[in-house]
Amino acid sequence: MRARHHRRKSEQTIRYRQTTLCGEQASHTRIPIIPQGEPKERKNLPMNMKKAEVYRNEIKSYIVRAGMTMTEVVDYLADEYGWSASVPNLSGKLRRGSLRYGEAVELANVLGYDIIWKKHER
């Protein structure tokens, strides 16, 4: 079995050489291969993804300052507000930047904080 490259990496094929009982070679069979595990480029992230990462790190720092773990926070949120008791769900919301304002208020409350709106001074 040999792998050969044709045109692009995404069009890679495998050739099987089959031999009949009398020793003759049969025609080749080609099976397309889908490349897997190629890293995605992250150079040109949308601006909102960069902001989501900043917000995620800020929220995680508040969790640490409160002396809690993500598991403890999720347990409190599940008990008090009916959130999913799954750490990956909260982590996913923070990573994607899809935490809603009401959820942020509940999260702040569990951590012992209030969200305060303050007018900018010009």
Residues 6-18 as b/e (b if ≥16 CB within 10 A, e otherwise) read eeeeeebeeeeee
What average pLDDT does the segment 64-80 reach? 95
Sequence-distant (6+) residues with CB within 8 A of 29 are 15, 16, 18
Whether pTM > 0.75 for this model: the answer is no
Q: Tokens 């595990």, residue?
A: 37
Q: What is the DSSP letter of 18?
A: -
Taking CA atoms, 4 is separated from 15, 33, 39, 104, in Å, by 8, 10, 22, 53
**Span 15-35, mean pLDDT?**
51
On the question of pLDDT at 89 being above 50, the answer is yes
Whole-number Å distance between alpha carbons of 55 and 52: 5
Per-residue pLDDT, averaged over 97-102, amounts to 92
